[in-house]
Amino acid sequence: VILASEIVSLWYNPIIIIFLSLIFLKFWINFLYLFKKMEKFFRDNNLDKNKICISGSSVLSIYNLRDCYDIDYFLLGDKIISKIDDKIECYNDYFLKNNFDDSLNINIEEIFSNENYYFYYNGFKVMKLDILKRMKELRNEEKDIKDIALIDKVIFNEYYKN
């Protein structure tokens, strides 16, 4: 069941126009396989999709920028679902260990409660690109530099800038 708030969030969100223009171009095989596996896990275990927010390279797959190797997500609440698969796992500890919460001035609870930090994809919350970009800038590994260049191709108007 799709909640009215999800529909409103989708259609009254400035990010949706660009997102919709990108999603029909390619299908990323690895992302689709992992995402379907994650959806099945949630369905089979009757889990609340609103308790996770997809992050990391899988966000780039959702934006049709590149395929991901895994799906990272933030988890709200307990760690019952801290790891779904070797390639589908919780990012909370990594986020905190690397002080992203302090550097970004965002805590995990805010990622779930502030609509400026997420949008919905197939019923799952997904981290917005500008937040992901800031995380990648902080980590600044070689793969992050490449991802930032991809993100910059999408982030081109004031709606995406903080």
pLDDT tens for residues 140-150? 999 999 999 99
* Cα gap 63→58, rounded to integer Å: 9
* Cα gap 61→67, rounded to integer Å: 5
Residue with token string 């191709």: 153
For CA atoms 81, 85, 86, 88, the dihedral sign is negative
Whether 44 shows a pLDDT value over 50: the answer reads: yes
Q: 7: part of which helix (H) or strand (E)?
A: helix 4-11
Predicted confidence at residue 135, as pLDDT, reads 94
Reported pTM: 0.78
Where residue 4 falls (left for φ over 0; alpha for ψ -120 to 50; beta otherwise) is alpha
CA 13 to chain centre: 16
Mean pLDDT of 121-131: 93
pLDDT tens for residues 60-114? 999 888 999 999 999 988 666 777 889 999 889 888 888 888 989 999 999 999 9
Whether 15 shows a pLDDT value over 70: the answer reads: no
Strand partners, 85: 88
Q: 10: part of which helix (H) or strand (E)?
A: helix 4-11
Q: What are the E-state strand segments in the chain?
A: 52-55, 71-75, 83-85, 88-90, 118-121, 124-127
Mean pLDDT of 122-144: 93
Predicted confidence at residue 98, as pLDDT, reads 86
Q: Read out DSSP for 116-155?
A: TSEEEETTEEEE-HHHHHHHHHHH--HHHHHHHHHHHHH-
